[in-house]
């Protein structure tokens, strides 16, 4: 941990350019854990980052005992970044005592998270902050996001950090203490189950305002064709490498007498809140087409929820974007179909014919579909 109290009860924080000097000069005087009141010692060697540690094994539930050097370094950087313009408390104690944010500034509770934690713990901590009137600001500190060509691949843990902003769409903020910059991925749109399109921006810590203003990226457009190309690949791979007979989507497609390669073009389109469903857009959009009676948005939302309950679809857990639900995705999709005036498309007769139809579809509808993704 980086904050302790001295014998007079004054707070001591080991951050800033003179942290090492401060640490060395204070080494002989007693300090105490702000959480449990037990004695702590200053660890300040040649290699490690100066920090406090409990003198003996303690049952103190302070999070700070197992912090990696990366976590300590980032916490110092973020504290210095915030305190340039705002008051902030390192490792603040909250009135309910149950949680300690890395840094608290006003109602913003900063959590820098390097190691993987479970979705339920992430959700629980987020909820506790909100209940306490605080706005949790999670910053990702784990390994870099994997890239594959023009796409990025987000793990379920990384998806927990996704937030939504009207201009930026889904976005993700990470900080690297080695390079001293934030990396923002914005306009994240799922293309397949694992691949997403995204726009990346690196911002040096000194150039980043606090709180970060989200609107960095102005000009923006994605082509629609890659969604068709990747859908084709995804279908091929799924049928080649997995047991498609047991896959609820492919099974339903075959049972309905249709061919997954030739499904009409409106099945599998990107929509703004599509990230909320952890399946290919073709899957849940096919279910909507297959199960619907009246074609209303409400009905589509119910269809998606029922398929989740049956285990045919999976919800993406995004505690920081609670408005983006599978129901919302279904409603966005129905609104899109209405706008492009397609009720029920026609399947193709051959794979060659399918590609020609996709090209025509792009010419006709690309602009409307992409414009609806992000305002």
- Residue 61 Cβ, how far from Zn ion at the closest point, in Å? 8
Q: Which is nearer to Zn ion, 62 or 325 (CB)?
A: 62
- Residue 100 Cβ, how far from Zn ion at the closest point, in Å? 10
- The residues binding Zn ion (CB under 5 A) are 33, 35-36, 60, 62
Q: Which is nearer to Zn ion, 62 or 99 (CB)?
A: 62
DSSP sequence for 248-263: HHHHHHHHTT--GGG-
- Residue 38 Cβ, how far from Zn ion at the closest point, in Å? 5
- Residue 8 Cβ, how far from Zn ion at the closest point, in Å? 18
If you ran DSSP here, which 8-state letter would residue 109 be given? E
Q: Which is nearer to Zn ion, 65 or 339 (CB)?
A: 65
Q: Which is nearer to Zn ion, 57 or 241 (CB)?
A: 57
Sign of CA dihedral 159, 163, 164, 168: negative
If you ran DSSP here, which 8-state letter would residue 50 be given? P
102-105 LR contacts (CB < 8 Å, sep 24+): 102/75, 102/78, 103/75, 103/78, 103/79, 104/134, 105/210
Q: Is 117 left (phi over 0), alpha (psi -120 to 50) or beta?
A: beta
CB 115 within 8 A of CB 142: yes
Query: Residue 196 forms beta bridges with which residues?
Result: 152, 190
- Residue 65 Cβ, how far from Zn ion at the closest point, in Å? 8
Q: Which is nearer to Zn ion, 26 or 304 (CB)?
A: 26
């Amino acid at each position: 941990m980086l904050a302790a109290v001295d014998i007079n009860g004054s707070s001591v924080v080991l951050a800033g350019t003179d942290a090492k000097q401060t640490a060395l000069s204070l080494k002989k005087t007693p300090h105490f854990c702000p959480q449990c009141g037990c004695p702590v010692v200053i660890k300040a060697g040649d290699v490690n980052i100066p920090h406090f540690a409990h003198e003996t094994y303690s049952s103190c539930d302070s999070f700070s005992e197992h912090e990696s050097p990366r976590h300590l370094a980032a916490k110092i950087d973020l504290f210095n970044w915030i305190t340039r313009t705002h008051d902030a408390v390192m490792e603040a104690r909250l009135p309910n005592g149950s949680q300690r944010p890395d840094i608290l500034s006003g109602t913003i509770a900063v959590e820098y998270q390097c190691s993987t934690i479970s979705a339920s713990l992430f959700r629980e901590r987020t909820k506790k902050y909100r209940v306490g009137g605080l706005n949790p600001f999670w910053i990702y500190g784990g390994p870099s996001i994997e890239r594959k060509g023009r796409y990025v691949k987000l793990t379920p843990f990384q998806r927990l950090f996704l937030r939504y902003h009207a201009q930026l769409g889904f976005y993700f903020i990470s900080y690297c203490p080695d390079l001293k910059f934030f990396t923002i991925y914005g306009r994240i749109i799922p293309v397949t189950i694992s691949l997403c399109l995204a726009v990346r921006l690196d911002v040096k810590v000194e150039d980043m305002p606090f709180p970060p203003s989200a609107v960095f990226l102005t000009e923006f457009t994605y082509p629609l064709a890659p969604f068709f190309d990747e859908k084709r690949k995804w279908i091929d791979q799924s049928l080649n490498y997995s047991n498609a007979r047991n896959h609820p989507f492919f099974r339903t497609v075959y049972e309905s007498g249709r061919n997954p390669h030739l499904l009409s073009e409106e099945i599998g389109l990107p929509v703004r809140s599509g990230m909320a469903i952890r399946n290919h857009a073709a899957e849940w959009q096919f279910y909507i087409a297959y199960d619907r009676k009246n074609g209303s948005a409400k009905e589509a939302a119910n269809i998606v929820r029922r398929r989740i309950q049956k285990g045919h679809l999976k919800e993406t857990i995004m505690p920081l974007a609670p408005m983006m639900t599978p129901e919302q995705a279904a409603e966005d999709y129905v609104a899109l179909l209405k706008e492009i005036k397609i009720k029920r498309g026609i399947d193709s007769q051959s794979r060659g014919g399918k590609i020609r139809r996709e090209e025509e579809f792009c010419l006709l509808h690309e602009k409307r579909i992409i414009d609806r993704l992000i305002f």
